[in-house]
Amino acid sequence: METCIETPLGTAIISGDENGITSVSVTKEPKTKPSQDNIPVYLKEAVLQLKEYFNGERDVFDLKLNPSGTEFQKKVWDELLKIPFGKTVSYLDIAKRLGDPKCIRAAATANGKNPLWIVIPCHRVIGSDGSLTGYAGGLWRKKWLLDHENPVKQQSLF
């Protein structure tokens, strides 16, 4: 089953069934017109939580997830789920958490194959030098998401 919702970053396409959410992706062009009337029952909670996230009302997702991937990819995605809202880690940090700093490229590749946009927060992984590297949805989206999660509050000078 599939449904779409509009977000500030494009149309989110949410897929899943009774076993959980299998994918959340973003596109500029909707595959189908978003409709609040016929959201499949298994996707209603994901729609609600994504809307709350974009409205600044949610910083942790509580959804039944069922992504398809290799065992290694799933281990990487599990590590991504541990990155707190508003925080970032490097690809090397992820590799170290997996127990092998040498697997940094494999971890980065698995990060890029994340099928659950935003829900599994691959956007919170940055380069060791603090640069915004590698984001399948485009670096402008990654920057937007990081700013959304950790907005710089300008203090009044007067």
Catalytic residue numbers?
122
Which residues share a beta bridge with 24?
Answer: 14, 116
**Residues in CB range of 48: below 8 A, 6 or more apart:** none
Distance of CA 80 to the CA centre of its chain: 9
CA separation for the pair 72, 32 (Å, rounded): 33
